Amino acid sequence: MDTRRLLRFLATALGTAGLLVSGCSSGGSAPSASATGSAATEELEPYYGQKLRWRDCGVEGFQCATMKAPLDYAKPDGGDVKLAVSRKKATGPGKRIGSLLVNPGGPGGSAVGYLQGYAAIGYPAPVRARYDMVAIDPRGVARSEPVECLTGKEMDTYTQVDQTPDDQGEVNALDSSFQKFADGCQKRSGTILPHVSTVETARDMDMLRALLGDEKLNYVGASYGTFLGATYADLFPARVGRLVLDGAMDPSLPAVDINRDQTAGFEAAFQSFAADCVKQTACPLGTTSTTDAATALKKLFTDLDAEPVPTGESRQLTESLATTGVIAAMYDEGSWPQLREAIAGAQRKDGSGLLSLADSYYERGPSGKYANLMFANAAVNCLDLEPAFAGPAEVEKAVPEFEKASPVFGRGFAWAALNCAAWPVKPTGTPHRTEAEGAAPIVVVGTTRDPATPYKWAESLADQLSSGTLLTYEGDGHTAYGRGSDCIDTAINTYLLDGTPPKDGKKCT
């Protein structure tokens, strides 16, 4: 299981898994802060001056185009990347406000897929009426020159590697699996690997803003998309329109702190699940206390470590896949009934339920082919921040802190954070405060029991941003907009439609 800096944004009609990334990366000088039209610096004018050729996507109501951007912003004449763009025009009634870019997180989540599968259908009708809904797959993701690393069979092997090693042999095997993953990425995608940083993607977004004819960027980013949006604001504060950062991350943290905070976040989410489970007459983890539920889940993991169980197909349910399945269900309380059934099945030696959850998390199709989600998100994460750990010895020292943060998940999360140590490209980013001095009001949304982006990250980002205003959802799950809170949705809709942000510190249930 690959859990380092793990994010997932779940929407009603679309689930997207990914990893959290923080930091800032290099890539040449940013376009001129005064550029709001078709051009920026002289070197970038050919890109800012291009014309998007819109065509029918084959999906009713959507148009698609391909945007060219420099592979390396430091050398704009050194080759291009082709980036997939999609839009659905404002439906009316009401005066069109402009374009609204959306990003579902990851990194590695397809923004185009999210737009076509959910946002342009599921966002509130008044928002869709007055905005052209727009998405761009970030460089290295999905339709935009995707990073590739392993074959389907190789990924099957990778996802089953024991991430709670009990001896030196298992430590070596885990270390080797990370090396093979990194080597595969270098072999198959070596040209683009150095150029998928969040800063470069933010610059691509500014280019798209200009090509759409918008003076300001209006944007809703969820999960990792909050870091992308905050990075844009920091680079181009004068071009910030209406920005919503939902399920916020803290760009000032190093990777080890991010991983440890997320470990605690998933523990808190599990405690909420367990508290609900023990009230059910058929809770597979017992009906006494959350402590007993945690003990029962750990026992299941230990049993699977010793002896995987059948799933009805060639793959067995290992401890690592079972843990991924449980983690997948922590993002949305709507998945808790399915998780209860899956855990009960595994206890009966039927691993199909937890395997199904794990496969959905990894975006593994029925044919055994994986989407490029995990490849892209490793590529971005490992470029944007120094590795959490340089080697196994550092992990061993950190395990007690991680287990303190989560007795259930801590050991596995600590070892999973070793992956970037083997990465073939040196990181270009560092933890930093993101202030976006001079930007228009930015709405930062935090959920109090969010497993992947702990609430304190939203508090921190809102405090860092010079114009940040914090909107709080007191509840469970990852992200808040469009997940059932009328209070949250009304506050965000009002901001998007008339530019009035909610009062800083507003709380919703």
**What pLDDT is stored for residue 40 in this prediction?**
58
**What pLDDT is stored for residue 7 in this prediction?**
53
Q: Which of 25, 189, 478, 485 is catalytic?
A: 478
Residue with tokens 């050398």: 75
Distance, CA of 204 to CA of 16 (rounded, Å): 21
- CATH classification of 43-146+193-253+435-508 is 3.40.50.1820, yes or no? yes
Distance, CA of 471 to CA of 462 (rounded, Å): 9
450 is catalytic: yes
Task: Dig out the tokens for 251 from the structure.
Answer: 């760009």
**173 neighbors 165 (Cβ within 8 angstroms):** yes
The H-or-E segment that residue 261 falls in is helix 255-277
Distances in Å between the alpha carbon of 367 and those of 109, 215, 359?
20, 45, 11
Q: Which of 223, 335, 406, 467 is catalytic?
A: 223
User: 98-103 and 131-136: which strand pairing?
Assistant: parallel
**Bridge partners (DSSP) listed for residue 135:** 86
**368 neighbors 156 (Cβ within 8 angstroms):** yes
| CA torsion, ordered 84, 492, 242, 207, to nearest 10 deg | 0
Domain ranges in the chain are 43-146+193-253+435-508
Q: Which of 234, 384, 450, 489 is catalytic?
A: 450
**What pLDDT is stored for residue 8 in this prediction?**
46
478 is catalytic: yes
Distance, CA of 10 to CA of 19 (rounded, Å): 13
Q: What is the 3-state secondary structure (H, E, C) of 288-339?
A: CCHHHHHHHHHHHHHHHHHCCECCCCCCCECHHHHHHHHHHHCCCHHHHHHH
**What pLDDT is stored for residue 41 in this prediction?**
77
**107 neighbors 138 (Cβ within 8 angstroms):** yes
**What pLDDT is stored for residue 9 in this prediction?**
45
Closest CA to 245 of 258, 257, 261, 234: 234
| Segments of the chain scoring below 50 in pLDDT | 1-5, 8-39
223 is catalytic: yes
Distance, CA of 27 to CA of 74 (rounded, Å): 5
Q: What is the DSSP string of 75-87?
A: STTS-EEEEEEEE
pLDDT tens per residue, range 222-247: 999 999 999 999 999 999 999 999 99
Closest CA to 225 of 70, 66, 100: 100
Distance, CA of 143 to CA of 371 (rounded, Å): 11
pLDDT tens per residue, range 445-481: 999 999 999 999 999 999 999 999 999 999 999 999 9
